Amino acid sequence: MMFIVLTNQLKQVKFLEKMQRNQFNFFWDEVNPLTGQNKDRATVDGSVDNHPQSSIAATGFGLAACVVGADRGFKSKQEIEARVVTTLSFIKNNMTNMHGFYYHFVDMNTGEQVWDCEISSIDTALLMVGVLTARSYFSTNQQIQALATDLYDAVDWPWMLNNRDVFSMGFQNGKFLDARWDEYSELMMIILLALGSKTHPVPLSTWEAFARPIYTYGNETFHIN
């Protein structure tokens, strides 16, 4: 019985390791290595996929994947650090932003806006989470430290509030989107990043400004604090 249990556990570990490596491979391979910008999606059936669209959220996840890859030894740490530097440098020096916020979708080769998409608050936040994850892990790499700090410090979080208590979902065609991050969701990362900013912080009251609905599933009721 013990043998069966250990065998099943080993299979689970191998499965999780394979999944982790495959996920790293996506973020490592589906990218322009000269810009570090990750594709928003790619095919899984082996067919050729030449679409150039990247999303800043995917690039944020890609930076986090670089940390996993370095820690797990999927690539050499030196090679991964070089990719992180390339990614951060390209974002800082080549990609259009507005008050430190970036377009949701960009061309992975040029960094230019595609599809008339919005300047996105949540996708910029996802990018910054990856940026700060890389900064934390590669703590001895001065280039990464400087670039990551510059990118985070440049984000003008109060601008995206647009004189409201909750963040707009974005800015498009010269105006803020009417949709707001006003109810419990992934919005919390935006607020935490904004509260922690040394250059453009938002008031502590921002944390209390979004609605916390009560959810019931079966016999369980969940209160969001």
Three-state helix/strand/coil letters over the chain: CHHHHHHHHHHHHHHHHHHHHHHHHHHHHCEECCCCEEECCCCCCCCCCCCCEEEHHHHHHHHHHHHHHHHHCCCCHHHHHHHHHHHHHHHHHHCCEECCEEECEEECCCCCECCCCCEEHHHHHHHHHHHHHHHHHCCCCHHHHHHHHHHHHHCCHHHHHCCCCCCECEEECCEECCCECCECCCCHHHHHHHHCCCCCCCCHHHHHCCECCEEEECCEEEECC
Higher pLDDT, 43 or 102: 102
Q: How many domains does the chain have?
A: 1
Flag whether 102 is in a domain: yes
Long-range contact set of residues 135-142: C-beta below 8 Å, sequence gap at least 24: 137/67, 137/70, 137/71, 138/67, 138/70, 138/81, 138/84, 141/81, 141/84, 141/85
Flag whether 44 is in a domain: no
Band (3; pLDDT cuts 50, 70, 90):
low
pLDDT digit string, tens, across residues 44-101: 776 777 888 999 999 999 999 999 999 999 999 999 999 999 999 999 999 999 999 9
pLDDT digit string, tens, across residues 131-183: 999 999 999 999 999 999 999 999 999 999 999 999 999 999 999 999 999 99
The C-alpha atoms of residue 5 and residue 223 are separated, in whole angstroms, by 37
Range of the domain at 176: 2-39+52-223
Flag whether 46 is in a domain: no
The C-alpha atoms of residue 142 and residue 99 are separated, in whole angstroms, by 25
pLDDT digit string, tens, across residues 99-142: 999 999 999 999 999 999 999 999 999 999 999 999 999 999 99
Residue 4's pLDDT is: 60
Residue 44's pLDDT is: 74
Flag whether 34 is in a domain: yes
Closest C-alpha to 162, from 147, 145, 181: 181
Long-range contact set of residues 65-69: C-beta below 8 Å, sequence gap at least 24: 65/23, 65/24, 65/26, 65/27, 65/28, 66/27, 66/28, 66/134, 67/133, 67/134, 67/137, 67/138, 68/20, 68/24, 69/24, 69/28
Find the CATH number of the domain harbouring 163.
Answer: 1.50.10.140
Closest C-alpha to 207, from 221, 194, 197: 194
Helix 56-72 / helix 2-29 crossing angle, nearest 10 deg: 130
